[in-house]
Structure 1
Amino acid sequence: MEGCCMDNHPKKTALQQNITRTHFRVVKGETFLIPCNNTHKVVCSRVEGEGKESLSFDCGRQQSTEEKHSGNYTCLLSDSEFHLQVVEKTSLLCSEPEETQLTLEVAKGGKIPCPGLSCYSRHVLWYKNNKDPCEKRACDNRNGVLTLLTVSEHDSGVYFCDRQITEQGVMWTFRRAVHVQSIPRSNPVGPRILYPADNMTEIVELGQNHTLRCKVDSPFVKDFLPKVQWYMNYNGNIKNMTELPMESPEVRHHQYEIITVLQKAIITEVTSLHLNHTYTCIARNTFGNKSATVKLKEKIEVNWPSLVGYPIASFLLVAGLGIVLRVKWLELQLIYRTHFQRGKLNGDEKEFDVLLSYVWSPPSAEVEGGLTLSSTSRPSTEVKSCLSSPEPLNMEEGNTQRAPEVLLRQVLEDQWGYRLCLLERDMVPGEAYTNDVVHAIQRSKMLICLLSDDYLSNNDALFVLESGVQALLQNSAPKVLLIWTSRTSTSLIQPDPPLPSMVQRALKVLPSLNWTLGKPARATSNFLRSLRKALANHRVEARSNQIVWQKHQSSHSFK
């Protein structure tokens, strides 16, 4: 018949021939888990056409079974099917008691027997979270008993044991579940009261409610919680105690082996009688008890007489402001004169627009692609050639690599038209250096200091900066602008010798710009825009006087 009619039957495809079918048998009410065979989330749904509601099991998700879960299931994304049979516990052949809930103590050994050990085959396979529990830990699986050599707090969970049973030519996987909870070892220690301390006094207000709190730590004990209670002792008599109305205790596991209990008792309205009583918190566990007492004290309102309190408060306020002003007086003066006070800066009154103070950079020292500064007192031959170079300035990479003092002078003097004062060029030879510096500052609208680590270590340069700060404190002009040219300078690392106190305080509040050397031309362009804006804010205008300027150029050539 098969040979004659085989053409009338549809042939099985290769996919249908490779489908894996498994038969599971579970006990009603126990936990069931479908194993995962790949990394994808697999959903197994019951085959349609059985006249039952649509049900499904997710791979790797534990689920309690019911009688309605029986049926054939097909797993998506996995070439497998399984038949699930949910049976009543009373239908099992074994009548002996079974342990499906176990408690094991941490740091001890523990055994987990498969339910029905004496009635079914002792050859079982154990699983936890779809994996062999003995894969990465020390344990033993013999005769249907999983033995954990040392129990840890991570051993809590559901363990599955599988038996293979053959009935009427069908191989069934009989899956049983055992719920295991690992608990700390019993520590024979009594409770510890964290709050209140014994013989403690709490401040209360008459007519207001007050909450008594008792916080207790106790070692974990199986099936037992520490008991915390509040009592009131009339007139301090310990034998005459009355239990106070209390809220439900707040219990939490502060640590794995510690239970913390917070017990509150509320006094709805505090009266003078409550001040005579003593309140006792008693904490008990299986290993002992502890107690702590509390007494209530009325809060005394302190009313300062207005004729005494107000003058004292006013005096303290004025004294505090005076101390702050005395300590910060220099900084406050500099901030006011720099940002708020405006002086009369007419071109006829000042011979120079800007006095530029710096120390020269040696041409051979290059840091981060740009030239660094040093305490050299006169320009080298190469730098002098840059000063006299007639080529126009632009922001290309070649120009931004020049020494900062050369680039800044070209921008201020040649491009923007400011009348620039340079000490090495415009000082009259033979005169005292200090007098020349003070005179040059008085003849300038603004002092710009090109700061670096070498600048802060140069005595002549520091004298120029300090003289500019003193002039600013005496008169609103000239203004002072700082330009930092190295990363370490802004951190105000103390050079050797240390900076003068006035300079240290002035560096914190004077207007400043950061010029990062060795960066692309765009960074230099951004700095120059900020510099021009700062000059405009301080009302320093570029108005070149050709007669005066030619006079200085002739004087410089004569020198």
Structure 2
Amino acid sequence: MQTRCVLFFLIFPILLEGCCKTHHQRRRTVFQRETTDQHYRVVEGESFMMPCVASLWFRTTEGVELKDSSLDCGKVFQAQLNHSGKYTSSQLSSGHHVVIYLQVVEKNALGCFQAEEHSVTLRVAAGGQITCPGFNCSNNTNVIWYKSNKLVSEQRRALCEKRGRLHLCQVTEYDEDVYFCDRQIVVQGVTWTFRRAVQVKIVRYHTSSDPPRIEYPDVNMTEEVELGQPHTLTCHVFFQVEEEFSPKVQWYLNHGGNMENMTLLSMERSQEKRVTVEEFEVIQRAIIKEVTPQHLNHTYSCIASTPVHKSSVTIQLKQKIKVKWPVLVGYPIVSFLLIVGLGIILHVKWLELQLIYRSHFQHGKNNEEKKEFDVLLSYVWNPLSEEVVSGFTMSSRPGTFSSEEACFSMDLVNSEDEATQTPLEVLLPQVIEGQWGYRLCLLERDVLPGGAYTNDVVLAIKRSRMLICILSTDYLSDSNAVFVLETGVKALLQNSVPKLLLIWTSRASASLMQPDPPLPALVQRALKVLPSLDWTSRKPAKATSKFWRSLKKAMPNH
């Protein structure tokens, strides 16, 4: 029977209009002309898609591409009058220069514009047809159909075209898309492709037995509101798509909670979206501009309906209780966090805080104690110090001098320039003991040999009112010298506290060095907070004078 039908329609092709058949048509290239210029005409407000000869098209003016006026291939957009113009692309794989002229026509200029022609709803598993908009206004019956940017005639499926209509023999859910129908028109000798768009929607061929499903709000729920503030009522509904589909979602105010005394609320435009072939989503909002106490006495119903089914949910409003967070919660929380933070800081910095307190505020307590020595001086000799010591005879002239005399007399050396070049470990004992008259303890001079070094250091610190350490890279690399400093810090943390002063001779280089073995953690932390002075040779006279005045001020009282 099928063979006879095919033979019959081959003999009588004019009767082909009533037949659907599986298309294996040859490729139609009506609009793939030899010329590289293509002209498209489209109606304002209708969907359009640039041909995918290139991936990106730029509007050009006087041969210059306008980068801010580009259109993507394969992307559907609503044509507007400002889209009219000349478009080119430099991304063609073939290397050819193609020009597209796009002309957007005002819909009011069309004599037979009908908005309902731009969308059609088809049923799954049934046959359906798509009509080319404005076809009856033209004598041109040659129409080429595209699904998105692909020729419909190239698809292997049961369909046929007749008199501007595309007939689908059996509709599936994959047929939902934007379809374009192209016709050729000639205007002043130029052939234009007049493209029209149709949005095709697919529905199931049945009447739903399920009522609308209200996702939000829940049944008998209560929403909190603030008096004097606006409030938005939101209803989120899912509908089963039907053959005759007209979903409706509305908000009503029930006076005094009476469901028979209802008033329709002012609503925003609903948000509608097709979720699947079978389900449709609607979000409807109603806004109460200012909540008053009267609003709390009523209930509010969201009613979702179709011609067959109806669902509803009723809610109530209640006043939100304003909790004074700063008073009830905020202050205690902030106070708790502050206490915890201070506790953490004290735990981490407790040693440093102890050293700062004892070195700046407690050392005065022991200044009156009777000690054998005023100052224990700790330093490390270097080769230059040895040379200088061999050229000098240690002065032992005790006596009391003013600060000016201490800074500028320098009678132990030949000149001021020579004094500034003298190593501090050589110069300092001469000034402290020889000029200022303090009782100075030097481990290599005043401690009897043969004893245990550790015991000698501990005893010397206890016998002294003050410990001065001359710090340098050599000092921090010497384990014996570091032991003296560490013992002094430990003594400072005890109640027997001697006064402790650090004098840096090379602070920058010492901070960059990595002693081997590393400095004890106690020493590393103490170096950051203990009182200190800086000494550098060849200082200006003013800076040198300031150093000696600061040192004299830090010395214990006679």
Between Structure 1 and Structure 2, whose CA radius of gyration is higher? 2
